[in-house]
Amino acid sequence: MTVEIKRRSPLTFSETPLKTEVRDYWTVVQEYEAENDGPWVIDLSHRSRWDLQDSDLANVQPAGALIPDAPGHCAFDNGVLINRMNRTQASIWHLAGAPPELPADAACTETTDATLFLALIGRNIFAIAEKLTALDFKDPAKTVPFLYQGPFSHVPCQIVTLERTTGSGGILLTCSRGYGRDMGHAILAAGDEFGLRPAGENTFLRWIEALSA
């Protein structure tokens, strides 16, 4: 008997998908029927993520890149985001392009199916975030990209500010998948006055391409 494998996001939006694609057993929404011009919330839970632990992170190079030397610092290159969490731990998020090569001599644990992963991008993103957390994503003392490990809508999260410009902003956040439905509800409620709506992966990839240009 053939068993059909399905991987499901912890969050489902009520909007109707216009284009979808089955990829690695996930049904990925590429575009919604009624996407606006932003701001957007985008479900990226299908994008691969890993937790990396090693007693000497200075000598570990996931995806051929150096891990930042201080907690809270991030490195973004070739579609891969590496976040230094503490002395012995980093997280790796695959955002675009070819999948990264993971170091064979370090302890990497895939966290994709165990967590929710969202992008909040476009105008007024920081005003929306201010309703849900006391963390300062516009802190001028921090250089983009940077990582916070703290509460967002009262939920422990990893949150990275990936864009901070005058007219736009972009943050990525991940948390335990058990909070998926409530997190999505809280974010959409906070963003309603600003026109926050779900968007598909294509919108996210265009944003990443513009950041990388």
CATH classification of the domain holding 192: 3.30.1360.120
Q: Per-residue pLDDT for the chain (213 aa), expressed as one digit of tens each?
A: 566 889 999 999 999 999 999 999 999 999 999 888 989 999 999 999 999 999 999 888 888 888 999 999 999 999 999 999 999 999 999 999 988 888 777 789 999 999 999 999 999 999 999 999 999 999 999 999 999 999 999 999 999 999 999 889 999 999 999 999 999 999 999 999 999 999 999 999 999 999 987
Judged on CB neighbours under 10 Å (0-12, 13-18, 19+), 158 is buried
Q: Which residue type is seen at 173?
A: L
CB 80 within 8 A of CB 63: yes
87: containing domain: 1-213
Q: Indicate the number of domains in the chain.
A: 1
Maximal C-alpha separation, the chain = 58
The dihedral sign for the CA sequence 175, 30, 94, 140? negative
Q: List C-alpha distances in Å: 127 to 7, 39, 133, 136, 191.
A: 33, 11, 10, 11, 9
Give 127-135 contacts, CB < 8 A, sequence gap 24+.
127/194, 128/39, 128/187, 128/190, 128/191, 128/194, 128/196, 129/171, 131/190, 132/186, 132/187, 132/190, 133/159, 135/159
